[in-house]
Every structure is written in C-alpha cells, then in structure tokens.
Homo-oligomer: A and B are copies of this chain.
C-alpha cells in the first residue's frame, strides 16, 4: 500500500464487456493494473470489481484520471470509488473492558499491517486507558450507562465528526448502537462479535456456546446495521473446543478467533477489498 497508485472499487448491473471497459480505461491512460478482482454474480445479476493500478506512468493527472472515469461509470450505472495510495485511514476505536482486540489492532498498526491513523480510543470504562496511552494514543472516557446512553453516543458522534474519522471499529464495545448511528455511518462501522454468527446473537455468546455443547467456537467480524449482529459478514474464524472447556476456557480460546477475525476484517476494509451487497459482503482477500 506504499506505492503511489489507485484502488478502484466498483459495482454495477452485470452486462457483457465490463472487464474490458474498466481495464481498458486504465490501459488507455497507461495505468498499470497490479491486481484485478471481479465477481459476476450470476444469481443477483450484478458485477463487482476491485482494480489496483500503479499510476506513475499515467498520461494524465491522477485527478483527471479519476474524473474522466465518470463517463464510463455512469454509462455502466455503477457505484464506484477511487482511493489514492499510499494512504492511512483515520479510525476511532471503541472499547469497554477487554483489551485483546485493541491490543491486536494497535500492535498491527505499529507493525504496518493495518494502515490506520488512529485518532482516538474511546471507552465507556477506563480499563483500556493504560494500553491506549502506552501507545501514545488519546483515550476518551465517555460514560453511557443507563440514562446517559444517548448523550454518550452524541459525544462519540461529535468526536468522530471533529476528527474526520472514516472508520469506527467496535473492538469489543459492549453497547448497542442507536439505529440512527448505524444508518448515518453505514458501511463505516466494523464490529467483532464473539460467536460464529448467526449462532449466539446477543449477550454472553460463550456461555450460550457452552450450554449448547458446540465443538467449535468462533468469532465474526461484520459491518454494523440497525439489526443486532445481522450486518454483512467480512470474516469468520473458528477454533475447536472440547467438553472439558468451561465458559471461561471458551473466553480464553475465543480471544484468538476474535483477534484474527477483526484484524483481517479491518485490513480487508481499509484496503478496499470489501463491497457491501445487501446483507452480504463481497471480499477479495489478500
């Protein structure tokens, strides 16, 4: 992601010739296609693509290249988006008590695996303050218990808007988002749910998993929508468990799944490898 370039993400009604047209536009301006992923959904009748191009040899300005695509995009009745590389996405991380997902995201960001510019860590408890501040990140404690709930979300909104946040990560944030929040930030809020969705929606999924006696537990990284734990799934991960594992053991073992799933989910989103398609997510993994 460090080379100068562009990522194009596009979806449109399927029809013959789209690959040629889209790739042809890039080639026509000497854009070098590094990676091209497409999906022609034979069932849904839609076309989805992600194209990553090097722009060093473009015969026009990058701005003009992007603008010029509009004619083609509109003729395809497409929804599309260009992102300039290199970039880092401005992100706010929302947490409550447990810190393993936060730790994972911070560590991978420092390592360069996740191109994030973390503008804030926001907690409705103080548990994660230490780990955030140790990494030099501002920690915002926002109370939202009981009657303060909506007020709390209003404060979060304010912060997010003030900081131009593009991505909101619920890194084990134990509050249900208000519907209008979900709608206003649709496609920009990623959650990690500590079960293999759609099994064990809601509270205490590990306790539920224990009671049901499942032989595999999991974690699900998904986009947040107003319906609880029902948004498009980006990534899932599972781990084998046995009868001798207590709910506390499931919590311990599940942390691995959660960390891997959220890290991959964020990576795919930030690299524009996801396209939301109704209740599902197209994902072109790397």
Query: A residues within 8 Å of B by Cβ?
Result: 16-21, 23-24, 26-28, 30-36, 38-40, 42-43, 57, 100, 103, 107, 111, 113, 134, 196-200, 211-216, 218, 232-236, 238, 240, 242-244, 246, 249, 252, 256, 260, 277, 279-283, 286
CB distance from A94 to the nearest CB of B (A): 20
| Contact between B42 and A34, CB atoms less than 8 A apart | yes
Given contacts A20-B26, A31-B16, A34-B40, A212 and B243 within 8 Å (CB-CB): no
A279: chain B residues within 8 A (beta carbon): 211-213
| Contact between B19 and A281, CB atoms less than 8 A apart | no
A39: chain B residues within 8 A (beta carbon): 243-244
| Contact between B33 and A16, CB atoms less than 8 A apart | yes
A246: chain B residues within 8 A (beta carbon): 42-43
A244: chain B residues within 8 A (beta carbon): 35, 39, 286
C-alpha gap A278/B226 in the complex (Å) = 36
- Most chain B CB within 10 A, of A235, A243, A286, is at A243
C-alpha gap A36/B47 in the complex (Å) = 12
Given contacts A243-B283, A252-B113, A283-B243, A27 and B19 within 8 Å (CB-CB): yes
A-B contact pairs, 6 of them (CB 8 A): A17-B23, A197-B212, A212-B233, A213-B280, A215-B233, A215-B235
CB distance from A13 to the nearest CB of B (A): 13
A31: chain B residues within 8 A (beta carbon): 16
A215: chain B residues within 8 A (beta carbon): 233-236, 283
A103: chain B residues within 8 A (beta carbon): 107
A113: chain B residues within 8 A (beta carbon): 252
C-alpha gap A242/B38 in the complex (Å) = 13
| Contact between B233 and A214, CB atoms less than 8 A apart | yes
| Contact between B216 and A238, CB atoms less than 8 A apart | yes
Given contacts A19-B36, A20-B27, A216 and B196 within 8 Å (CB-CB): yes
C-alpha gap A34/B244 in the complex (Å) = 11
